Amino acid sequence: MKIKSVFVGIAVVGVLLLVLSFSTVAKVLGANPRDVLLGVKTQPQAVNFLPQRSPLFWSFLINPERLELFSQLAVKPSERREVRQAVADLKQKLQQNWLIDYDRDIQPWLDQEITLALTDTDLDRQPNNGLQSGYLLAFAAKDSNLAKASIDAFWQRLAVNGSDLGFEQYQGVSILSTSFAEDRPAIAGTILGKFVLFANDSRVLREVIAAWRSPDLALASLDTYRARQAPILDKNNGKVAVAYVNLAELGEDLPKESLLMDLRFDKAGIRAKTSLTLANQSTETSTEISTDQSTDQSTEPKISQKILGNMASVIPSGSSVVIGNNLGQTVASLKKTLAPEWQNLLAKAIAPIPLESRALTWAQGDYAIALIPQPHSHPDWLIVAKVEDAEIAKTAIASLDDLARNKLTVGEISLEQQPVTVWTKLIASDNSANDEVSGKAIALHTQTKDYLYLSNSLKILESALTIKNSASIAASKDFKKIVSGLPKDISAYGYINNNFDFSWLQTSISDLKFWSKIPQKIGNNPPFKIIKHLESGTFTNTFTSESSSTDIFNGEIELFLK
């Protein structure tokens, strides 16, 4: 099977589940909203038979019909008809691809869990003949007898309609399968305990059955999976879904990073607890960090609500921002944990400021890094760092000026009677008879009593220096609501404004080697269209992060519904 058909199959099923999940709150809130808001405290059971090599899965732990009502309230009344039509279209596509009638074959017996998984990127381990990826769809049954009867009737209909059914026994479990036309993925199915399973290849089900028979082969027994699971367990709050991705299993050239995420609803929107593993480490910086007290992970700095308010008051309204403590340690940690190509991307983004851990070690106080959207171009950036020792900060920035002089012209201007140092790239006139030379400001910095400012825009720097509290993100109602709900003792906080345009990232990440291996057409599939539609002015997105070790980062993401 070609990769295109695999992702078409995943997209069709994924979209159905996504829309059903985010499609369902008017009736729920009208009856008993706590059923959905509280979620469940159980873990997905499908991980007990997913193979350890599975690159990704998504488990829904609330019945889709209840979640469909939840999303009906989440969208505007004028858009509810559109959501209902999308659900109908996606059910139709599911039937067109696999001939599964969701309302007849699945809904009557469906319980509280649906898991969609990519179990292997290449089933035969022979990339020369093309990727033959395996994917699995698992439905938990509340009535096993009704489920068996419905699925038996499904296979019988396929046989009556002319499909050649294949039958095999594997470790005592029966597997049925059939192939469709060229434009439709094959389907194999079986029943394990309370789960009805469908796959695009019987080899997927053999691996699943083997993991079910021998638990040490299952994803649930993987040490790294259990290690990521523990930090996100929440005894006080339930969840509606769990997602997992292991990039290392998606391709050899991909970063060795993995993510586990619990998703739940609250009265303000959608909240996710995350555990991110960054496996790539630089031995060179590891030594430097371990000997530098300022970058000791055992003394991870925390930021308070007061710090959040102070730093937000110097950031222009409309910005997306990261606020934290000890910028020097943050940069050193990124250089230690990120894969080399991610480091190169980061270095390119902050150029001409060098990505060296000691270049910013003076900045051990509070800091804010802001992106300010600009129409039809990359956003401008602004870095504000609290000055703890004026002389140390001044000396450190002077050393940066010396580095900049190797490639740029360094001069000084006056802005509102404030001296500003400008790094300029000079450009000679095209006309040889004209002796004029023009310049483009690459970066600017200035130091006040309390803060040191760096930016790539004179206009942004000027607005930051003269900003009034009413014009900062601290005055935003959305920002105030978000800050009030933050957990305590966080080490960093990020706020993504709802007008943030992600399109410029496409160009920025095009240089990454693995990017070409990710099917670009997936962005045009319905799940991603729906996500983009929901984000276009519908959500204010936030995330919080807390580093628990040098290579596992735990945090939260919250989407606030408007």
Range with the lowest mean pLDDT among 111-125, 221-235, 506-520?
A: 506-520
Query: Does residue 270 have a pLDDT over 80?
Result: no
- Alpha carbon distance, N-terminus to C-terminus of the chain: 42
Condensed to tens digits (0 to 9), the pLDDT of residues 215-225 reads 999 999 988 78
In this structure, is the dihedral angle defined by the CA atoms of residues 311, 312, 313 and 318, taken in order, positive or negative? positive
What is the percent of the chain with per-residue pLDDT over 70, rounded to a whole number?
Answer: 65
How far is it, in rounded angstroms, from Cα 328 to Cα 367? 10
Distance CA 488, CA 485 (A): 9
Tell me phi and psi for residue 342, to 5 degrees.
Answer: -70, -35
- Using DSSP's 3-state secondary structure scheme, residue 19 falls into helix
User: Are 260 and 247 contacting, i.e. CB atoms less than 8 angstroms apart?
Assistant: no
Tell me: the pLDDT tens digits for 2-51?
Answer: 333 333 344 444 444 443 343 333 333 333 445 555 677 788 999 999 99
Coil, strand, or helix at residue 536? coil
Q: Is the dihedral of CA 19, 21, 22, 24 positive or negative?
A: positive
User: Is the pLDDT assigned to residue 290 strictly greater than 60?
Assistant: no
| Residue type present at position 449 | K
Q: Which of 466, 423, 422, 450 is nearest to 366 (CA)?
A: 450
- Average the pLDDT over 146-167 and give the result: 93
DSSP count for the chain of H helices, then E strands: 17, 21
Taking the mean position of all CA atoms in its chain, how far away is CA 155? 38
More confident residue, 426 or 536: 426
Q: Looking at residue 450, what DSSP letter applies?
A: S
**CA–CA distances in Å: residue 548 to residues 174, 288, 299, 324:** 45, 20, 10, 15
Is 524:15 a contact under the CB 8 Å cutoff?
Answer: no
Question: Which runs of E-coded beta strand occur in 360-432?
Answer: 366-374, 377-386, 409-415, 418-428
Tell me if residue 504 falls in helix, strand or coil. Answer: helix
Which residues are CB-contacts of 501 (< 8 A; sequence separation ≥ 6)?
Answer: 373, 379
Residue in this structure with the two tokens 């007008």, named with its chain if needed: 499
